């Protein structure tokens, strides 16, 4: 990617200081833009601080693979990624996901991804604590790992500050119809406020078709199993699993219903906690008690791809990541900064590709289907 020229006279407001907002601010400030970041809470207090931190480049689509590869390189450059293979599997009787895997893995390999099928017996030999006796098909992505999402985001914000950005925490932003933020004029406004992005740009007369939906996470008590398993996505059960600080992190629990991002339940549902116990029994052969559980919000779009780029002259958005926002964050932030400075955001993610009021059903982001 050819770097955009310096932006000495460009005043940019960035709304939201999650990983995308912080990265965008840092990239712009490094190129001499005058950057002000408005964060309604604390840095990484939203989805970026609660994300699972599972990162990989195992995508069949060309653009998705390129973005994931660039993000992984950024994580490694900062020594933020703990390398850990990512296994995904379909169990006996789940022909739909087994067939989807058979289709996707060769296309991932065509994109240069270090991905291969793995025989259930080999999977059992490598990770004997994983239950593999009923696995129909499995694959492994070697270029993968996990990140402490809160630490990475806060460190990125510090880089932005060191480059000259002004980060204003506990400062909610209001965008008016003239593109002013809290009454101030800017040459460009970047709205990367997660689930609040649609509300903020709608107030400026720029609605976008994005819906917030609820997901859930379970963290076990400390267990030796944490050192004995890879990151794993069970497509049949619809859950993912990863080691986390000596514990097991289980995620998904998607509720595919639109939620108001200003009024929703942050407590995990009891059914989800109970299902996690059942899932761990299926995945590793034993239930592990709960340490804590919680709920968060993800954002969905009509086609499952995010909205990234210019919504109206001088107004840019980044939202709709279907739960994959953090793992793409460094690369998306860099591309947003390029767009603000006169470059181009990915055409496939153009936020104007749908009617602003387009309706759609929410589909969970963790899926082998495209």
Specify if 248 maps to a domain.
yes
Q: What is the pLDDT at residue 8?
A: 56
Mean pLDDT taken over the chain: 94
Of 300, 327, 361, the last residue of a domain is: 300
Average pLDDT over residues 196-223: 96
Percent of the chain's residues with pLDDT above 70: 96
Specify if 137 maps to a domain.
yes
Of 300, 320, 339, the last residue of a domain is: 300
Average pLDDT over residues 288-317: 96
Whether residue 287 is found in the same domain as residue 228: yes
Specify if 359 maps to a domain.
no
Whichever domain contains 92, its CATH number is: 3.30.9.10
The interaxial angle of helices 19-30 and 325-340, nearest 10 deg, is 30
Q: What is the pLDDT at residue 363?
A: 86
Specify if 127 maps to a domain.
yes
Q: What is the pLDDT at residue 255?
A: 87
Whether residue 257 is found in the same domain as residue 191: no
Whether residue 287 is found in the same domain as residue 153: no
Specify if 66 maps to a domain.
no
> Given a cut of 90, is residue 94 above it in pLDDT?
yes
Whether residue 233 is found in the same domain as residue 314: no
Whether residue 256 is found in the same domain as residue 289: yes
Average pLDDT over residues 189-206: 97
* Number of compact structural domains in the chain: 2
Whether residue 238 is found in the same domain as residue 126: yes
> Given a cut of 50, is residue 3 above it in pLDDT?
no
Distance from C-alpha of 184 to C-alpha of 181, rounded to nearest angstrom: 5
Whether residue 262 is found in the same domain as residue 278: yes
> Given a cut of 70, is residue 366 above it in pLDDT?
no
Residues in the chain: 370
Q: What is the pLDDT at residue 254?
A: 87
> Given a cut of 80, is residue 197 above it in pLDDT?
yes
Domain around 88: 83-142+212-300
Whichever domain contains 191, its CATH number is: 3.50.50.60
363 against 205, higher pLDDT: 205
In 10 A of CB 117, how many CB atoms? Answer: 14
Q: What is the pLDDT at residue 30?
A: 96
Q: What is the pLDDT at residue 187?
A: 96
> Given a cut of 90, is residue 6 above it in pLDDT?
no
The per-residue pLDDT for range 24-49, each reduced to its tens digit, is 999 999 999 999 999 999 999 999 99
Instruction: Name the pLDDT band for 345 (thresholds 50, 70, 90).
Output: confident
Q: Are 171 and 45 in contact (CB under 8 A)?
A: no
Whether residue 200 is found in the same domain as residue 290: no
Give the predicted TM-score (pTM) of the model. Answer: 0.94
Average pLDDT over residues 314-321: 97
Average pLDDT over residues 189-209: 97
Specify if 63 maps to a domain.
no
Q: What is the pLDDT at residue 252?
A: 86
In 10 A of CB 160, how many CB atoms? Answer: 28
Specify if 358 maps to a domain.
no
Specify if 55 maps to a domain.
no
The per-residue pLDDT for range 133-170, each reduced to its tens digit, is 999 999 999 999 999 999 999 999 999 999 999 999 99
Whether residue 204 is found in the same domain as residue 221: no
Query: What residues have CB less than 8 Å from 344, skipping those under 6 apart?
Result: 338
Average pLDDT over residues 109-133: 96
* DSSP symbol at 6: P
Sole residue written with tokens 């990151």:
231
Whether residue 217 is found in the same domain as residue 288: yes
Measured distance between the N- and C-terminal CA atoms of the chain, rounded to whole angstroms: 27
Whether residue 137 is found in the same domain as residue 24: no
Whether residue 296 is found in the same domain as residue 164: no
Pairing mode of beta strands 54-56, 144-147: antiparallel
């Amino acid at each position: 990617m050819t770097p955009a020229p310096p932006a000495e006279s460009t005043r940019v407001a960035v709304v939201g200081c999650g990983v995308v907002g912080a990265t965008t601010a840092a990239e712009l400030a490094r190129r001499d833009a005058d950057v002000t970041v408005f964060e309604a809470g604390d840095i990484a207090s939203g989805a970026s601080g609660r994300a699972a931190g599972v990162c990989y480049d195992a995508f069949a689509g060309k653009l998705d693979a390129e973005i994931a590869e660039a993000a992984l390189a950024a994580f490694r450059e900062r020594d933020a990624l703990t390398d850990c293979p990512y296994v995904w599997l379909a169990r006996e009787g789940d022909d739909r996901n087994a067939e989807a895997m058979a289709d996707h893995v060769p296309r991932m390999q065509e994109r240069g991804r270090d991905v291969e099928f793995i025989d259930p017996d080999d999977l059992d030999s490598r990770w004997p604590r994983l239950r593999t006796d009923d696995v129909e098909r499995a694959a492994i992505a070697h270029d993968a790992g996990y990140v402490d999402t809160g630490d990475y985001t806060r460190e990125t914000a510090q880089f932005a500050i060191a480059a000259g950005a002004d980060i204003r925490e506990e400062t909610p932003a209001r965008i008016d119809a003239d593109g002013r933020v809290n009454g101030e004029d800017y040459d460009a406004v970047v709205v990367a406020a997660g689930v609040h992005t649609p509300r903020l740009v709608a107030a400026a007369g720029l609605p976008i078709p994005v819906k917030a939906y609820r997901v859930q996470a379970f963290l076990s008590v400390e267990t030796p199993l944490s050192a004995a398993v890879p990151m794993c996505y069970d497509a049949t059960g619809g859950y993912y699993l990863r080691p986390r600080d000596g514990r097991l992190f289980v995620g998904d629990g998607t509720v595919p219903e639109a939620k108001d991002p200003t009024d929703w339940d942050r407590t995990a549902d009891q059914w989800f906690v109970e299902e996690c116990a059942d899932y761990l029994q299926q995945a590793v052969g034993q239930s592990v008690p709960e340490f804590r559980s919680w709920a968060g919000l993800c954002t969905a779009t009509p086609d499952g791809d995010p909205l990234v780029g210019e919504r109206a002259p001088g107004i840019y958005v980044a939202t709709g990541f279907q739960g994959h926002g953090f793992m793409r964050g460094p690369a998306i932030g860099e591309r947003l900064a390029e767009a603000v400075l006169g470059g181009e955001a990915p055409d496939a993610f153009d936020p104007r590709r749908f009617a602003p009021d387009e309706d759609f059903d929410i589909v969970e982001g963790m899926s082998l289907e495209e």
